[in-house]
Amino acid sequence: MVIILGFIAKLISSRSLKITKSVLLSIELIIVVIKLSLTKYKLGQTMKLTIISLILIFTNSCIQNEPEHKWLSGNEYERLDTVAKHLRGNDLVMWEVDFRHKKLYEAIKTNNKPYALYQLKKIGLTMELGSERRSKRKKSYDWFFENAIPVMQEAIENDDKPIEEFKSFTAKCVTCHTMEKVAYMPVIKPWEK
């Protein structure tokens, strides 16, 4: 019995334990051995409970010790935070927004309504996800979602002076830069190019 308990303790303490076929086989083997011991030696109630608890702790330790990820370390939350860090912050959102802002202008200018709506939708999406991931600029984004995107969308859908509305839309980009204290970051006016 002492040998079995020692074996269990050794397995529990090994940190890099993985749920492999051999580990599962070992668990089965231990259970069989313990069952035999219980019937053969007529152990007391406390001893039985101790043994059952040890089996449970051991099984639990196997489940928690998942195989190590190739490059992500820490617990599940820490790993998700690392992935979010790799998705980057508002700087990368703006990179995409800037690209799509120009494409939006081209689409409006060539009367390509579905393409214009597509670009506007993607501008809104990347901003929304960025604002969710890093909530620092959420208040300003919410202002933009309420005051810039819907009017731009309506102007495209209804062919209601979309170029004029695009200029106003661009001015709202600048307003947000001022609100966020990055007014020194210029917003290109594609119609001046």
Of 8, 108, 120, 173, the one binding ligand HEC (CB under 6 A) is 173
User: Residue 169, Cβ neighbours under 10 Å: how many?
Assistant: 24
User: Residue 147, Cβ neighbours under 10 Å: how many?
Assistant: 14
Q: Does 177 bind ligand HEC (CB under 6 A)?
A: yes
Task: List binders of ligand HEC among 13-72 (CB under 6 A).
Answer: none
- Work out the burial of residue 8: count CB atoms within 10 Å of its CB; fewer than 13 is exposed, 13-18 middle, 19 or more buried: buried
**CB 169 to ligand HEC: min, Å:** 7
Please choose, out of 33-41, 64-72, 77-85, 86-94, the segment that lies near ligand HEC by the rule CB under 6 A.
86-94
Please choose, out of 10-18, 58-66, 110-118, 136-144, the segment that lies near ligand HEC by the rule CB under 6 A.
136-144
CA 132 to chain centre: 10
Q: Does 87 bind ligand HEC (CB under 6 A)?
A: no
Q: Does 182 bind ligand HEC (CB under 6 A)?
A: yes
Residue with tokens 């303490």, as numbered in its chain: 13
185 backbone φψ class: left, alpha, beta (φ>0; ψ -120 to 50)? beta
Q: Which of 104, 102, 99 is nearest to 115 (CA)?
A: 104
Judged by beta carbon, residue 91 or residue 192, the one nearer ligand HEC is: 91
Residue ranges that bind ligand HEC, judged by CB under 6 A:
90-91, 94-95, 97-98, 101, 123, 137, 140-141, 144, 173, 176-177, 180, 182, 185, 187
